């Protein structure tokens, strides 16, 4: 804090001639004032509140018989402004309050005048020349996220600003710092590598190099950090078990980053200087080695990787934070949902104020150790009969997945995306796994390998996935739809609060795809309703995640009852950029001004945004009450939320830990729109 | 021919009541006429010209004392209509011309009357009842592509139709049959598999399972068919050496299909029932084995794969074909260019009437055996200096590539696309190759493997390619631009006819990318022009192949002097479909009516077409004289060419062997637009 004040002040002195003359205390620009004219002269800098913690107490330092330059030069140690601060610090040199009580009294009155006038915490420069106070400059002061929150809420409570102004004053992105454990700023850090700040929060733990070990050690009560070259859906259980995730490859929206943010796990991704050998259970970086069991710390807010344990500070979610959220909710128009796929995610999301689930992916449910064999048997079956036999074994599991989620989200809408990834993601990739998997699935290794090879894709992102699976294997979506409706009826009967399932068909590019898939879902619904003799309300809609879907939105809305903009994939296809591979050039792209920000973090409003706007217009032209939301990563990004407000979407959906950020950003967007 | 006539006639008799009464000869629908009332009665069917070859001669058959049913039943063998036909066939039973000369004379007069009235070859049914002729039906007759061409040209020459009508009457797609060798329809076929008709023409040769063997055996004078599970750019020299290409995987726009069409090589792709072992040099299908050296035949027009050699018929490109092309050229507005990247391609293209090169890819030039080591050294270099050293070795080679092409295309525009594929395509993929490649490149195997691993991409289609290479390694584009301008000046000096290089930056999504890359090209141009003291005219433009580029076309046109719509990639990204992987579901998609046709073959006018239309409008709004063309595979598809005419593009570019098809389709589109 101190060093930065000094450099700030250096700038201030150099800019003296720029100061306007309209302040409460006049400034004489012609005649220089001098703080070095003896012991009744002084110079100093102050904040009207604590810029670090936000407390309502004057905060600053001064030097007797000195000019600003002396303070900047750092030759003499400045003294505290107030007696309280001096005493708290246990310092001897008298505070200004004690050394110059009269001038200090005048200064304090000026502080109050300026803060009241500017209605914000002021950062003030002053000089005392022979016991006469001269104000050199005042301006709104910089502050930490924590102070910003406290000052905004305090000032609204004091009546200095309105609640809405308080809402407008806190940077939603900065709020992220407050929702996660952070590194103790006092602690020493032994930084060994730097990657991307992929998911905020800090975590320490023992290094592990595979998901199974992460799970095992976590079960034994050890804190672990999972280290992978890159993660895949098969690592999910290990990511759940770990305190944090570190990868050598992948960008801000790589699998590791997206999943970690969804889970609220700190994550550093794409730490390119690290060489990882999972086989030898070691990572090497800058001549150093971290082996399994060695402790390390990651800071997902900065991307730093540190050897050893670094102390962390826990977040506070009550108090001012809760107050500001209430005020934000009064203002916003956009609903805020969460991307959540486990009961735990859903609980977290509700605690953070989510008003529904905007994206419940179902693929992770297929990776569960107890089910993956049935999933593989389904994939490896040679005909529909074989696939149906395997799907029958998965049905009760899927039903219980949805029942748990519906129970947590009772009474709220839950958008469930039917199976999306290409089937090869569920088959083994490593030679070592084939024998075991073949045995478990009851087929020979050659058949397994042949099938895996057949399913291999050059560009899986553009492959046989999404509704294309549903078109070629409708029985998969049929099973999922049945599980959804059976679970919804079970929960409605049990809790009395029926969930509102919104069944979402992924990767639609044509109306006909949605027609075919809606028919499958509707048939399953009618069958279940007939068997049970009762019904639940439900919607069938689609993700708009391909440029063609956006262009054809008018036609697609004839069938689709809602659109959820899948802006991750829409960004990939509109820009022609694979987010798993983009790390290699996206940095250079942002540096050279080709994109102002990483387009996977903040929506490319010009390009992708035009498609969203166009799809919203065309969809509404066909179906005026169509429900419109966004479920890409952008749903948690304040700038992108501002765009969603402009386009008039109904809701944004963000990962659970970003729900408060989205609530605040939505409120600010609504204020801006007025 | 015979069987199909019979079934056609069966339909005719069933539809007798539908015949209108407005013909030259009246039909009495009430009173049935009988051809089976003795030897002065007969029934028959005829064409006013030969529907197989198009010759101007009556063509048909009849039976004395018979009803239509008798002919249809096939119990008796029909007799020839004309004496000439009977004599040519060496048949004994008298022709109608000989057996019933008077009635025949009347019939011939009716033939001429009907053809003149309908201004087209007629397919006619008649009955003779007791020496009196009754006409039962007449309609325009079906004909082969060859006959269609001859009849159209003859009729125009006879003054029966106009030249423009002749142009409108020939199906451009059918023309494709005439430009390639075809299987002799009389020859026996032992069909062992069926794949996609990926590139027209038929070819026989000895089976080979790798590109090197193809090249070696071809050099030894053997005709070979290259058989691969799928092809990659490394197979190019083998594809050049082969008479035809057969793959087990990949769709109509897989690498094999696209390259084969460009080369005019017959290709059957995606023959899924074939299992290929390149290692064991064998393919297995339906219990049979084809080993290296075994002869097989492929028919790229039907997708059939046959064991053994099947005789082929060569195409005729002079005469009627040439005449029709001249007439088409008088009518069309769209220019027609070729996608050509070798001097041979360019020569073929000029012979077929191309008015420039619309797409000269440069990547194949990097795969040449004499250069690939320098290319790999460039990729493996650890800094710009190392890359430049390798690029310096490639410069003279690139210059001579372009000089050869410019010499063939002297005076015409040549659009050269700077390097496009991701760099990992140039590195080895098979374990066996690493050692050799590492030695050639002068680095150790581990470094090579590490670098290959670093460059690996999950979705190379959306990866570090196109102008992204130019942005991160501008020295590559700088070398290519220098080679282009040096070659252009060399050819201008030598031949006096300067080429017009159009330097095309691939995969642009933002104006800034094009700004940066145009600056690189302009700098190289200025440097070369200064060194030589002379200049050539040139343009710098971009492919529009990403949805974002189409949306931002107005801005991009501030820098870009031309747009070439790369509809292959634009289709991939707009629809979110990888053309290398699409074969798995695209068949089911077309069957279920999701897409009316394979969108990689015929442009998806609703989706991709809207982006093309929008980009053309926005581009022109910024730069009214911007040159607009299309260089995707769709540039050779008649329906897509119709769309290009509607949108008002300036040219289409097709693979050399499709240039005549494009010329005819462009002419028909222009006629339709009138």
Q: Which residue of A has its CA nearest to B551?
A: A607
* Residue B481 dihedral angles phi and psi, to the nearest 5°: -65, -45
Tell which wins on pLDDT, B418 or B428: B418
H runs (alpha helix) in A623-655 = 638-647
The answer to whether residue A182 scores a pLDDT higher than 60 is yes
Q: What is the pLDDT of residue B74?
A: 67
- In this prediction, residue A200 has a pLDDT band, given cuts at 50, 70 and 90, of confident
3-class SS string, A382-449: CCHHHHHHHHHHHHHHHHHHHHHHHHHCCCCEEEEECCCCCHHHHCCCCHHHHHHHHHHHCCCHHHHH
The answer to whether residue B621 scores a pLDDT higher than 90 is yes
The answer to whether residue B257 scores a pLDDT higher than 90 is no
- Which residues have C-beta within 8 Å of that of residue B610, sequence separation ≥ 6? A551
Least confident span in B4-13, B244-253, B348-357, B582-591: B4-13
Q: Is the ipTM beyond the 0.90 threshold?
A: no
pLDDT digits (tens, 9 = 90+) for A535-581: 999 999 999 999 999 999 999 999 999 999 999 999 999 999 998 88
Please name the member of B458, B551, B575 whose beta carbon is closest to the beta carbon of A509: B575
Q: Is B420 part of the contact surface with chain A (CB cutoff 8 Å)?
A: no
Please name the member of A507, A578, A611 whose beta carbon is closest to the beta carbon of B462: A578
Q: Which residue of A has its CA nearest to B587?
A: A472
**3-state class of B48 per DSSP?**
coil
Q: Is A331 part of the contact surface with chain B (CB cutoff 8 Å)?
A: no
Active site residue B360: no
Q: Is A423 part of the contact surface with chain B (CB cutoff 8 Å)?
A: no
The answer to whether residue A521 scores a pLDDT higher than 60 is yes
**What does the radius of gyration of chain B's CA atoms come to, in whole angstroms?**
29
Catalytic residue among B267, B346, B360, B631: B631
Q: What is the pLDDT of residue B73?
A: 67
Percent of chain B with pLDDT over 70: 95
Q: Which residue of B has its CA nearest to A608?
A: B548
Q: What is the pLDDT of residue A488?
A: 97
Does A585 sit within 8 Å of B468, measured CB to CB?
yes
Angle of helix A659-673 relative to helix A320-331, nearest 10 degrees, comes to 40
Question: Average pLDDT of A502-521?
Answer: 98
The answer to whether residue B6 scores a pLDDT higher than 50 is no
The answer to whether residue A18 scores a pLDDT higher than 50 is no
Q: Is B585 part of the contact surface with chain A (CB cutoff 8 Å)?
A: yes
The answer to whether residue A16 scores a pLDDT higher than 50 is no
Strands of the sheet with A288-291, listed across from one edge: A275-277, A282-285, A288-291
Q: What is the pLDDT of residue A310?
A: 94
Q: Are A652 and A630 in contact (CB under 8 A)?
A: yes
Which of A250, A581, A617 to probe by mutation at the B interface, max B CB count within 10 Å? A581
Least confident span in A19-28, B80-89, B213-222, B573-582: A19-28
Does A512 sit within 8 Å of B578, measured CB to CB?
no
Q: Is B425 part of the contact surface with chain A (CB cutoff 8 Å)?
A: no
Q: What is the pLDDT of residue B4?
A: 38
Does B606 sit within 8 Å of A551, measured CB to CB?
yes
Q: What is the pLDDT of residue A31?
A: 67
pLDDT digits (tens, 9 = 90+) for B194-243: 998 888 889 999 999 999 999 889 888 889 999 999 888 778 889 988 99
The answer to whether residue B17 scores a pLDDT higher than 80 is no
Q: What is the pLDDT of residue B584?
A: 82
Does A468 sit within 8 Å of B573, measured CB to CB?
no
The answer to whether residue A152 scores a pLDDT higher than 60 is yes
Q: Is B233 part of the contact surface with chain A (CB cutoff 8 Å)?
A: no
Q: Are B210 and B292 in contact (CB under 8 A)?
A: no
Q: Where are the beta strands (DSSP E) in B189-255?
A: 191-194, 196-199, 202-208, 224-228, 244-247
Tell which wins on pLDDT, B353 or B584: B353
Q: What is the pLDDT of residue B467?
A: 98
Q: Which two tokens stand for residue B640?
A: 């897509």
Q: Which two tokens stand for residue A169?
A: 């004053």
**Catalytic sites of A, residue numbers:** 255, 631
3-class SS string, B110-176: HHHHHHHHHCCCEEEEEEEECCEEEEEEEEECCCCHHHHHHHHHHHHHHCCCCHHHHHHHCCHHHHH
Question: Average pLDDT of A241-247?
Answer: 94
Active site residue B429: no
DSSP B311-362: -EE----STHHHHHHHHHHHH--SEEEEE--SHHHHHHHHHTT--SEEEE--
Does A460 sit within 8 Å of B552, measured CB to CB?
no
- In this prediction, residue B72 has a pLDDT band, given cuts at 50, 70 and 90, of low
Please name the member of B552, B578, B594 whose beta carbon is closest to the beta carbon of A510: B594
Does A574 sit within 8 Å of B576, measured CB to CB?
no
Does A507 sit within 8 Å of B576, measured CB to CB?
yes
Average pLDDT, chain A: 90
Residue A240, number of CB atoms within 10 A of its CB? 18
Tell me the chain B residues in contact with residue A546 when contact means C-beta distances shorter than 8 Å: 574-576
The answer to whether residue A344 scores a pLDDT higher than 70 is yes
Which of A466, A574, A576 to probe by mutation at the B interface, max B CB count within 10 Å? A576
Tell me the chain B residues in contact with residue A573 when contact means C-beta distances shorter than 8 Å: 462, 547, 573-574, 576
Cα–Cα dist A361/A633, whole Å:
13
Please name the member of A468, A581, A604 whose beta carbon is closest to the beta carbon of B585: A468
Q: Is A545 part of the contact surface with chain B (CB cutoff 8 Å)?
A: yes
The answer to whether residue A449 scores a pLDDT higher than 60 is yes
Does A516 sit within 8 Å of B581, measured CB to CB?
no
- CB-count exposure of residue B674 (10 Å: 0-12, 13-18, 19+): exposed
Tell which wins on pLDDT, A473 or B78: A473
Question: Average pLDDT of B406-416?
Answer: 95
Q: Tell me the shortest Cα–Cα distance from A251 to chain B, in angstroms.
A: 13
Q: Is B571 part of the contact surface with chain A (CB cutoff 8 Å)?
A: no
pLDDT digits (tens, 9 = 90+) for A372-393: 999 999 999 989 999 999 999 9
The answer to whether residue B413 scores a pLDDT higher than 90 is yes
Tell which wins on pLDDT, A633 or A219: A633
Tell which wins on pLDDT, A315 or B631: B631
Q: Is A620 part of the contact surface with chain B (CB cutoff 8 Å)?
A: no
Q: Is A551 part of the contact surface with chain B (CB cutoff 8 Å)?
A: yes
Percent of chain B with pLDDT over 90: 69
Q: What is the pLDDT of residue B603?
A: 97
Tell me the chain A residues in contact with residue B595 when contact means C-beta distances shorter than 8 Å: 510
Q: What separation in angstroms does the CA of B53 have from each of A68, B38, B59, B323, B660? A: 102, 35, 11, 17, 20
User: pTM of this prediction?
Assistant: 0.84
Q: What is the pLDDT of residue B32?
A: 81
């Amino acid at each position: 804090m101190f060093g930065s004040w000094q450099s700030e002040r250096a700038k201030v002195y150099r800019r003296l001639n720029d100061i306007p003359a309209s302040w409460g205390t006049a400034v004489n620009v012609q005649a220089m004032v001098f703080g070095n004219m003896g012991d009744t002269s002084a110079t100093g800098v102050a904040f009207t509140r604590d810029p670090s913690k936000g407390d309502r107490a004057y905060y600053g330092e001064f030097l007797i018989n000195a000019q600003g330059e002396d303070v900047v030069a750092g030759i003499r140690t400045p003294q505290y402004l107030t007696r309280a601060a001096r005493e708290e610090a246990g310092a001897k040199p008298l505070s200004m309050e004690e050394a110059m009580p009269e001038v200090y009294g005048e200064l304090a009155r000026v502080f109050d005048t300026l803060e009241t006038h500017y209605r914000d915490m002021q950062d003030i420069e002053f000089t005392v020349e022979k016991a006469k106070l001269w104000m050199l400059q005042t301006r709104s002061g910089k502050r930490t996220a924590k102070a910003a929150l406290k000052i905004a809420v305090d000032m609204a409570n004091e009546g200095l600003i309105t609640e809405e102004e308080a809402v407008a004053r806190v940077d939603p992105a900065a709020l992220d710092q407050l929702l996660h454990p952070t590194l103790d700023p006092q602690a020493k850090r032994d930084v060994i590598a730097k990657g991307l700040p992929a998911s905020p929060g800090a975590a320490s733990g023992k290094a592990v190099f595979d998901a199974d070990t992460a799970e095992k050690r976590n079960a034994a009560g050890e804190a672990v950090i999972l280290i992978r070259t890159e993660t895949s859906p098969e690592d999910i259980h290990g990511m759940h078990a770990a305190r944090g995730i570190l990868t050598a490859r992948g960008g801000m929206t790589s699998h590791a980053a997206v999943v970690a943010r969804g889970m609220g796990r700190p994550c550093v991704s794409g730490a390119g200087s690290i060489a990882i050998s999972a086989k030898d259970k070691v990572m090497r970086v800058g001549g150093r080695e971290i082996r399994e069991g060695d402790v390390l710390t990651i800071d997902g807010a900065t991307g730093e990787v540190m050897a050893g344990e670094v102390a962390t500070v826990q977040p506070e979610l009550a108090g001012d934070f809760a107050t500001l959220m209430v005020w934000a909710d009064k203002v916003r128009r956009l609903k805020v949902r969460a991307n959540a796929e486990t009961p735990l995610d859903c609980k977290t999301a509700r605690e953070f104020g989510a008003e529904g689930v905007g994206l419940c992916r179902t693929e992770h449910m297929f990776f569960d150790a107890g089910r993956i064999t049935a999933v593989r048997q389904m994939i490896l079956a040679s005909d529909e009969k074989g696939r149906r036999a395997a799907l029958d074994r998965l049905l009760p599991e899927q039903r219980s997945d949805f029942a748990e989620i519906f129970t947590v989200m009772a009474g709220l809408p839950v958008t469930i995306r039917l199976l999306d990834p290409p089937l090869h993601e569920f088959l083994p990739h490593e030679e070592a796994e084939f024998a075991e998997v073949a045995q478990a699935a009851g087929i020979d290794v050659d058949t397994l390998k042949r099938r895996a090879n057949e399913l291999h894709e050059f560009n899986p992102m553009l492959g046989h996935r999404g509704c294309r699976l549903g078109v070629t294997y409708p029985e998969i979506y049929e099973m999922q739809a049945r599980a959804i409706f059976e679970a919804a009826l079970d929960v409605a009967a049990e809790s009395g609060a029926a969930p509102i399932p919104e069944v979402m068909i992924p990767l639609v590019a044509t109306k006909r795809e949605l027609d075919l898939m809606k028919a499958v879902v509707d048939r399953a619904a009618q069958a279940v309703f007939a068997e049970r003799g009762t019904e639940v309300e439900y919607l069938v809609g689609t993700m708009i995640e391909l440029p063609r879907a956006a262009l054809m939105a008018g036609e697609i809305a004839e069938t689709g009852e809602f659109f959820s903009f899948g802006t991750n994939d829409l960004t990939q296809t509109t820009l022609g950029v694979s987010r798993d591979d983009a790390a290699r050039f996206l940095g250079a792209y942002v540096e050279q001004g080709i994109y102002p920000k990483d387009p996977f973090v903040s929506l490319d409003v010009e390009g992708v945004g035009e498609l969203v706007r166009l799809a919203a217009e065309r969809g509404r032209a066909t179906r005026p009450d169509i429900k419109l939301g966004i479920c890409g990563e952008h749903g948690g990004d304040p700038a992108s939320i501002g765009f969603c407000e402009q386009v008039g979407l109904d809701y944004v959906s963000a990962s659970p830990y970003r729900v408060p950020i989205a609530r605040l950003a939505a409120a600010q967007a609504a204020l801006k729109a007025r």
